[in-house]
Structure formats: structure tokens, C-alpha cells
Amino acid sequence: MPVISDPAQFNEDDLYVDLRAALELPLFLKCEGFNFAGSIKLKAANEMVAAAERDGLLRPGSVLVESSSGNLGVALSVIAASRGYRFLCVTDSRCNLPTIRLMEALGSQVHVIDEPDVHGGYLGARLSYVRALCASDDRYVWLDQYHNHGNWRAHYRTTAPAIARRFPHLDVLFVGAGTTGTLMGCARFFWQWRRRVRIVAVDSVGSVSFGQAPGPRLIPGLGASVPPALLDESYVDELVRVEESDAVHVCRRLAARGFLFGGSTGTVVSGASQWLARYGRRDLTAVAIAPDLGERYLDTVYREGWPEDALEAERPAEMARLA
Ligand SMILES: Cc1ncc(COP(=O)(O)O)c(C=O)c1O
């Protein structure tokens, strides 16, 4: 039983759900939501803050600022609160309300961007805001998860070795792509590991990360409206793209079996299920990464009528942008 004095010291790294019972799927789901930030992003936040402190970028009086769809913001809120930094999270209107409340409860300030940029993306608008802020006052320190190598290194050092220890005969790993920190850290580790593991990236339909056309997306965390700078496709063996409606369907099937996961877990499991069905062999050792749990998605993924009603509500703004 661990005893801790700093919230970042605890992270459950060895919990897997065998999805054969719940979904008749030969897949082990690595659960990353059991820590004080409730998501996999605690690892990236830890690594990036430690590096910034080591490099002398973060000093007493610094104000951390970051663009986040929510989970990194919560993780940085936890770390900022425990180390005495101020933190401003720049997010957008797709961020869940409970996530915003959570950051505020941890003492952070949250700025919500509710207008996409001229290309129709929220991420571009968030990044412009952060850049302007940093130019205005040099106390702001932007870790920049989209370019920070600590983002993927965290998974190279922790997530991937934990999977390799537990599954020495791993054949295939499914990883959702947001900033691609998790994907690149795991891909680089397994590239060098003594056994070749097939790395399958899972992306949302409507995300531009792998060169596809942009489209409406509502599940935060996974997918991007700006190509991810950390992505090196030469490490990725295959790509599976998932409709958000399929991701929601998988989340609700898992919930019906008592497993309440976040929206991006539905995307990754749906992608893995498509891939495994195509591959047709049931004797592979397959693992997928579940970035967070479902409580933050009760008003979205787990609400009857979502995402159809939310997409309907977005349509006038979309039409105005295209006009
Ligand atoms: C819920 C959720 N899923 C998936 C991801 C994707 O992780 P990464 O940014 O490492 O690609 C994130 C990242 O914020 C997330 O919050």
C-alpha cells in the first residue's frame, strides 16, 4: 500500500481489463485513469514540468500556461497546486464543464476559446491566444505539449516499459492519437525493444492528424485540427479511423458491463475491434490504452441524444464559417 505526500507520486500503471468477458474482444485495456489527475496526462505533465524546472525555465513567480482539451490542464493543475505555481489553462468550448470546474477547484484559472480560427479549428485559436499571452509578459511559461519532447519521453520511460513487462509476448498495441505523445513514446520504445510489436494508431474521422480532411469532432483529447508536430509516421505501422458515433456506442456497451471509460477509450477500443476483426486471428496478444475514465463525460458521451443534438447545435456556426 503506497503512502504519498505529493499527488504526482501515485499512478496505477499495472491495471488491465480483459475485454473478452465484456465485449468478446481479445484485447487487454490498459487503464490510465487511476491517479489524482484522473488521466494518462499526469505522466506527460510530470515529465514536462520536471524538465522545465531542471532547465531553469520554471522559477518561483512563474505562471504556467498551456493549451489543453482538458486532461493535461487537470494534470498541470494538480502539479501546479502541489508545487506552488499559478496555472492558466487555455481550452475551448468542447472541454467538458466538469473538467473546467475541476481545474478551478484545484486553484487554476481557465480561459475558454469559443470561436474557432479562420480554418475552422479551435486548436489554432487556442495556440494564438497562448502565444499572445507569452509575448505580453515573460512570467508566463508555456510547456507546449505539441512540441515538447517530454510529452513522448514520459511514455517511452513509463507507459511502454510497463506494458512490455506485463506482456512480454505482445503482438499489437493500439494507441489513440491526440498530440501523439503517447503514440510516439510507445512506438519509439517498441521499435527498440527486442521483439517487434505492431503499432496501430487510432484517430477520429474529422481529425487532420494523418492527412485526412477536417470535419466536426466532439470527443476531446483524441484527434487534431492542426497536424501534430510530434508525429513521425515512420514509427506507425497502421492507422485506423473511427466515427465518433461508433466510439460512443462502444463506451455505452462497456458502461453496460460496469466499466465507465472516457470517450477516447471508446474510439481506441472501436478501432482495435475493427482491426482485430479484419485481421481475423484470435491468438494475438493485443493491448490498447484507455487514457481516462468516464465521470467527466456524463453530459456528453453518456447522455441520451448526444452527439446528434450537439452536432445539430453546431451546424449554424459551421454554415456561417463556410459562407
Ligand atoms: C482523453 C484523452 N485521450 C487521448 C489523448 C491523447 O493522448 P496524446 O496527447 O498523448 O496523443 C488525450 C490527450 O490529452 C486525452 O486527454
Beta strands in 58-189 (DSSP E): 63-67, 86-92, 109-113, 140-142, 172-176
SS3 29: strand
pLDDT, tens digit (0-9, with 9 covering 90-100), for 88-125: 999 988 788 889 999 999 999 999 999 888 776 788 89
pTM of the predicted model as reported, rounded to 2 decimal places: 0.94
Residue 321 reports pLDDT greater than 60: no
| Pocket (CB within 6 angstroms of ligand 1) | 39, 41, 69, 71-72, 176-183, 221-222, 262, 264, 291-292
Q: What is the pLDDT of residue 122?
A: 84
Ligand 1 centroid, distance to 293 Cα (angstroms): 12
Distance of alpha carbon 19 from alpha carbon 245, whole angstroms = 20
Question: Does position 322 have pLDDT exceeding 50, yes or no?
Answer: no
Please report the sign of the dihedral spanned by the C-alpha atoms of residue 19, residue 20, residue 26, residue 28. positive
Identical fold for domains 7-34+150-297 and 41-142, yes or no, is yes
The owner of cell 486471428 is 281
Q: In the Cβ-directed half-sphere of 89, how many Cα atoms lie within 13 Å? A: 30
Instruction: Indicate the CATH number of 41-142 among 3.40.30.10, 3.40.50.880, 3.30.1380.10, 3.40.50.1100.
Output: 3.40.50.1100
- Tell how strand 16-18 and strand 28-31 pair up: antiparallel
Q: Quick: pLDDT tens for 267-317.
A: 999 999 999 999 887 799 999 999 999 999 999 999 999 988 888 876 666
Report which protein residue has its CA nearest ligand 1's atom 15.
221
What is the whole-number distance in angstroms between the Cα of residue 323 and the centre of ligand 1? 32
- Please give the CATH architecture assigned to the domain spanning 7-34+150-297: 3-Layer(aba) Sandwich (3.40)
